[in-house]
């Protein structure tokens, strides 16, 4: 390569390249002539050929698969596994339309290109029964298949349906602005933005909201469900093995929505019992006065716990015997100077 460039340089020099002109040498080098002091010397500029090839494709594939880790396609329990299967099945069925459509578009462009004299030219064509049958039958079959899969999956994944005959752990969930309250009625404790469950044990969640509509979602365990004020939703989940996960709010609920996430830990049963005892030893009591303070709007709340909890608190919140959260408060630092809405009355 160096010898070729040198030979080309000598050749162009002998040809007395005009000042400021440029000529291509192959695909990667350019020879030009510009003044350097009192002489006129040729200059060669070469660009390095970049090849992406297999390493770049491998990196792209690995990067794409990283998105599956910790999400719905990386399930940790029976409900999450069924959710992932349902999602994959629906995607494969829809590819029955997507792939033939893409291939057909390329085939038509190639078949009826201007240079192809063998393609039949029908300027007055307007209808084909065969084409109509294909165009309509494939989407109808796809809808039927997807509808059947979703109908069966919806019945199988009924959130109110117990997962097994094994007694579940009861957890009461209250959606607040902008944090999650978890009450363990059987253990008499409560936590904020932290959920700890024993691995291999079914968990039955009773979910309500003390503010606006929200959505409770633990991606690796599956089945997002709404938290609604004045109502109680139920959800049965299970973590098959110890792991660290995250849960989130999946429904926009105001300023602190983006930080409305919580830690989820599935631990061995013995470690769960030790954690319960450590929370009880930590002190603090969640009663109605403490709940009134907790219900005030706050953002990016760090996890903390209560060593004792009022056993009637969840029912009172769900029945709206306790008033919903106060909403925006001008004196609250997190309010940041925003005005309280008057509901359009002024």
- The residue ranges of every structural domain in the chain are 2-46, 73-156, 169-322
Q: Which residue has the higher pLDDT, 109 or 16?
A: 109
Q: Calculate what percentage of the chain has a pLDDT beyond 90.
A: 44
CB atoms within 10 A of CB 165: 6
The answer to pTM > 0.85 is no
* pLDDT of the residue at 69: 63
On the question of pLDDT at 326 being above 80, the answer is: no
Architecture of domain 73-156: Orthogonal Bundle (1.10)
Dump pLDDT digits (tens) for 29-40.
Answer: 444 444 444 444
- What CATH superfamily is the domain 169-322? Cupredoxins -  blue copper proteins (2.60.40.420)
Confidence of residue 214 (pLDDT cuts 50, 70, 90): very high
Confidence of residue 68 (pLDDT cuts 50, 70, 90): low
* pLDDT of the residue at 44: 46
CA distances from 21 to 6, 29, 165 (A): 18, 14, 86
* pLDDT of the residue at 150: 87
Residues 6+ apart with CB under 8 A from 85: none
Residues 6+ apart with CB under 8 A from 342: none
């Amino acid at each position: 390569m160096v010898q070729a460039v040198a030979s080309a340089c000598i050749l162009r020099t002998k040809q007395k390249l005009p000042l400021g002109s440029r000529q291509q040498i192959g695909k990667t080098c350019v020879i030009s002539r510009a003044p350097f002091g009192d002489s006129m010397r040729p200059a060669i500029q070469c660009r390095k050929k970049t090849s992406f090839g297999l390493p770049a494709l491998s990196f792209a594939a690995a990067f794409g698969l990283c998105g599956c880790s910790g999400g719905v396609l990386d399930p940790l329990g029976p409900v999450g596994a069924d959710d992932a299967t349902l999602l994959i099945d629906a995607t494969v069925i829809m590819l029955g339309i997507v792939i033939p459509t893409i291939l057909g578009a390329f085939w038509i462009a190639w078949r009826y290109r201007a240079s192809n004299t063998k393609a039949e030219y029908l300027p007055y064509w307007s209808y084909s029964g065969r084409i109509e049958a294909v165009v309509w039958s494939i989407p109808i079959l796809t809808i039927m298949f997807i509808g059947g899969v979703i109908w069966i999956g919806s019945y199988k994944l009924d959130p109110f349906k117990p997962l097994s005959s094994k007694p579940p752990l009861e957890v009461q969930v209250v959606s607040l602005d902008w944090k999650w309250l978890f009450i363990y009625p059987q253990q008499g404790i409560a936590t904020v933005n932290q959920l700890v469950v024993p691995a291999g044990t079914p968990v039955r969640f009773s979910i309500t909201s003390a503010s606006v509509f929200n959505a409770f979602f633990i991606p690796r365990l599956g089945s997002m469900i709404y938290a609604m004020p004045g109502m109680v939703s139920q959800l049965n989940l299970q973590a098959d093995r110890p792991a660290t996960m995250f849960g989130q709010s999946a429904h926009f609920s105001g300023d602190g929505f983006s930080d409305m996430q919580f830690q989820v830990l599935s631990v061995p049963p013995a470690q769960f019992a030790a954690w319960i005892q450590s929370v009880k030893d930590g002190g603090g009591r969640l009663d109605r006065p403490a709940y009134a303070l907790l219900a005030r709007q706050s953002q990016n709340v760090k996890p903390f716990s209560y060593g004792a909890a009022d056993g009637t608190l969840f029912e009172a919140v769900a029945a709206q015997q306790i008033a919903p959260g106060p909403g925006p408060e001008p004196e609250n630092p997190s309010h940041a100077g925003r005005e309280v809405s008057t509901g359009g009355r002024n």
